[in-house]
């Protein structure tokens, strides 16, 4: 099983149309959903990860450096602006865990994308 902050391998479904700016195929992702909702629902909310550092030009991204703990083998980019819920059956396995510092950055990024930072302040 997996938990909040885990980095997992997941399968994104194929695109519905011709033009696709979404992630697809097998890729790493960060589990951002917390308990008890994670165990109660058939889906999990994930943030996809890419090795394409050029995506750092988009708002809602941040660089993750590989560590023994997170299981990544190269510098990667969390794509918070592509947060998505997928069926748990599409999640293969856990490869590592995001550091608490990186997860905190990811949480702040998601809140900012959703407009909650301005709401809380």
Per DSSP (E only), the strands in the chain are: 6-12, 25-31, 43-50, 61-64, 76-79, 84-87, 91-97
Cα–Cα dist 59/84, whole Å: 17
Summarize pLDDT for 43-101 with one digit per residue, the tens: 999 999 999 999 999 999 999 999 999 999 999 999 999 999 999 999 999 999 999 99
pTM of the model: 0.88
Other Cβ atoms within 10 Å of 103 Cβ, number: 17
pLDDT for 121 beyond 50: no
Domain count, the chain: 1
Comparing 117 with 105, the larger pLDDT belongs to: 105
Structure tokens at 36: 């008890």
User: For all residues of the chain together, what is the average pLDDT?
Assistant: 88
Domain containing residue 18 = 6-120
For residue 1, is it within any domain?
no
**Residue 31 forms part of a structural domain:** yes
Q: Tell me, what CATH number does 46's domain have?
A: 2.30.30.110
Q: Is residue 103 part of a domain?
A: yes
């Amino acid at each position: 099983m997996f938990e909040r902050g885990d980095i997992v391998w997941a399968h994104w479904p194929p695109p519905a149309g011709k033009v696709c700016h979404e992630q697809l195929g097998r890729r790493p992702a960060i589990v951002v959903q917390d308990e008890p909702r994670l165990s109660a629902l058939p889906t999990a909310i994930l943030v996809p990860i890419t090795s394409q550092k050029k995506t750092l030009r988009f708002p809602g991204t941040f660089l993750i450096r590989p560590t023994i703990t997170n299981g990544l083998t190269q510098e990667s980019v969390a794509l918070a602006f592509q947060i998505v819920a997928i069926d748990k059956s599409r999640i293969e396995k856990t490869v590592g865990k995001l550091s608490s510092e990186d997860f905190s950055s990811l949480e702040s990024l998601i809140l900012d994308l959703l407009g909650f930072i301005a709401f809380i302040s």
